Amino acid sequence: MTLTAEKGAPMKGPVLGRRRLLQAGGFLSLAFALPLGDVLAQTAAPARPPLPGSLQTNRMLNAWIRINADKTVTLLVGKVELGQGILTAVAQICADELDIDMARLKIIAGDTALTPNEGTTAGSFSMPNCAPAVRHASAEVRAILLDLASKSLNQPVTALTVADGTITGPGGAKTTYWDLVVGQALEREATGQSTPKAASAYRYTGKSVPRLDIPAKMTGEPIFVQEMRPEGLLHGYVVRPPTYRAKLASVDLSVGERMPGVVKVVRDGSFLAVLAGREEQAVAAGQALYAAAKWDVEKGLPGTDGMPEWLTSTKPARVIETRNTPRQGGDAPVKTVEATYYRPYHMHASIGTSSAIATMGADGVVTIQTHSQSVFETAEAISKMLKLPREKVRCQHVQGSGCYGHNMADDAAADAALLAVQMPGKPVRIQYTREQEHRWEPYGSAMVVKTKAGVDKDGNVLDWDFQIYSTPHGTRPGGNPGNLLSARYLAEPFQQPTPQNGGPPNYSADRNGIALYEFPGHRVLTHFITEMPLRVSSTRGLGAYGNVFAIESFIDELAHAAGADPVAYRLKFMKNERARDSIVKAAEAFGWDKWRKRDGRGRGIGFAQYKNTAGYCAVCLEVEVNKRNGRIRVLRAVASADSGHLVNPDGVVNQIEGGLIQSLSWTLKEEVKFDDTRVLSEDWASYPILTFAEVPPVDVVLIDRPGQPFLGTGEASQGPTGAALANAVFDATGVRFRRLPLTPDRVRAGLTA
């Protein structure tokens, strides 16, 4: 198996036949001359049939699969590897449908000049969108090859068998994929008529095949963009303003220009940067320029402590009625229960800071190696920022060390491109310092959730009211340079567009805001605030973490108020059978019914189906709370996961474990601190994360659904884990904590209040 990505140069893939590859509208297609009559006939053709997943918008088979003369197969996908194991999973599917060994596969992912445009790799959409496309494209290519073999061997298709690309007929007659495919054999649209294999016929799918990207990482090969060092490399350093709203009033550029190793100092409005031969030289010169610069600085941030009040008192741009199902008759509530929950701003806090390398070639094409999740949209935004034609900017995805959403990968790509056009022919590398990454990355939005329930005499919910107060959760480039950080500071600045909130079924601020439980009356209002005190965008799960924390904490409060077991209370209102299975299996694996109360220890459960459309996950935790110092220790964690048809069980376990551990870190420790002027969290001391010693043993129970759709998993465990932790702390202490994170100081104050 080969993951193809030439370091420091455009990636090259095999080309089928002699046709010319075109990048048109973001899709890979093949251009060839058609007679006018054929063109008119195509125009008048009936509507094309719908195709599965990303195949619908990338319909050419050879945009996905190429059969190569060297007896390999190239799989091209628009989704990219972020550590979630997607390339391994789609390789398993492709190899199974084509009947080849996985070792024959080469994979090219996220190259805007070569691969199909599958949009952003985010939202747990890779398995629902990319995997079905690969499955059906591979099945159709196999059918085409068998049809060609049938003609070549003069045997019916039903008499042929395939083993690792070799097709055998009666009497031992043989041919191979590589013998059959010539010219335009795969230059055709998918029809969707080929039937993929049954789950029982798979060789790889459903098995824990080792991740393809792990061996190189374990042996220290330089596969991360942060490690790439092409020949002739220059290092760039961007001098950031002291605050968001600051403007560069004046600076003596010679301060940087005369420092050792400096090749060029660049100023464009309030954008200030330096290029040097060595990284430490660029950093030193950049810091000297920062000290010499004079900035106009404005204040105006609400501060960390004032953020909850700011959210609830700021007039929203829109109040969105996400759901409104009024109760129809019945008894009136005898009591109303209310609670308010708060999640702070979260960083991505990637261990490796964002990086990119850009080179402007002799042909005027700017080629960028980037760990962006949105290579197509980012390339479009950069082309507009540079005022270049779209085809003059090419993004190639290279893995980066850390990604949990829209971090600064796109900004690094833009900064590298801005400097590369200043030095044509020279590769330019950007990698941010820890302080730059911490202070300037787009954070996960702070949120306030107000809950209210009307209950009957037995504590059953009759009316459920859920109100969300949130700034945006999505300012990805989206083809707009105003969403690239440095573009806003140029002499001719690009204005950031007003963010929009995502609608159903995936939502954004209100993601998972609709509880899956069935209540007689159920209302959800989203107070969407477009003003952004701090820079925000998509962090793993978007609004789901805050919303599930609130839903599952509140349902727990209602269960305790009713004197009911938290698991039994949830099941009372849950009609979705797969959701019930997830809750029950997590509780059983945890030993919920056998657990016995001990002083200072507690148990808690949380559940959600991510986006109410993706993977199901329930999490049970056991914690120990030191009531003297307020420290929480998570003793063990058990999770259930239903991701539909399992492709790589170990990959699903990895995603659930990773999300669970990150959620523990968010819930116990993480909060961006800021005053009225600037962000104060600029290192690991001021923004601590979970340490290895604090990670509990994690047991994941998988629920396989052969033949069911593939469901995204990467963000399924965040919300349930945060809620399970808060619920376990309540069980241990009798005190309900509704503001995150649950730091020792906050817990100690709550216990002594």
**Which burial class, exposed, middle or buried, applies to 549 when counting CB atoms under 10 A from its CB (0-12, 13-18, 19+)?**
buried
- C-alpha to C-alpha distances, 503 to 322, 468, 518, 526, nearest whole angstrom: 9, 14, 21, 11
What would the pLDDT profile of 362-415 be if each residue is shown by its tens digit? 999 999 999 999 999 999 999 999 999 999 999 999 999 878 899 999 999 999
Query: If you search the block for the tokens 């539909």, which residue do you land on?
Result: 644
pLDDT of the residue at 36: 38
Cα 570 from Cα 592, distance rounded (Å): 14
pLDDT of the residue at 3: 54
What would the pLDDT profile of 653-689 be if each residue is shown by its tens digit? 999 999 999 999 999 999 999 999 999 999 999 999 9
Question: Tokens representing 333?
Answer: 């509530």
Q: Which amino acid is at 178?
A: W
**Is the separation of the CB atoms in 260 and 279 below 8 Å?**
no
Cα 242 from Cα 117, distance rounded (Å): 37
Percent of the chain with pLDDT over 90: 89
Cα 514 from Cα 725, distance rounded (Å): 21
Pairwise pLDDT comparison (338 vs 32), residue with the higher score: 338
If you average pLDDT over every residue of the chain, what do you get?
Answer: 92
Domains plus CATH for the chain? 2-218 (3.30.365.10), 225-297+348-438 (3.30.365.10), 447-473+508-752 (3.30.365.10)
Cα 77 from Cα 4, distance rounded (Å): 12
Q: Which amino acid is at 220?
A: G
Lowest mean pLDDT among 108-112, 180-184, 281-285, 712-716: 180-184
What would the pLDDT profile of 44-70 be if each residue is shown by its tens digit? 556 788 999 999 999 999 999 999 999
**31-47 burial: b if 16+ Cβ within 10 Å, else e:** eeeeeeeeeeeeeeeee
pTM for this entry? 0.91
pLDDT (average), residues 423-441: 97
Cα 166 from Cα 169, distance rounded (Å): 10
**Is the separation of the CB atoms in 308 and 302 below 8 Å?**
no
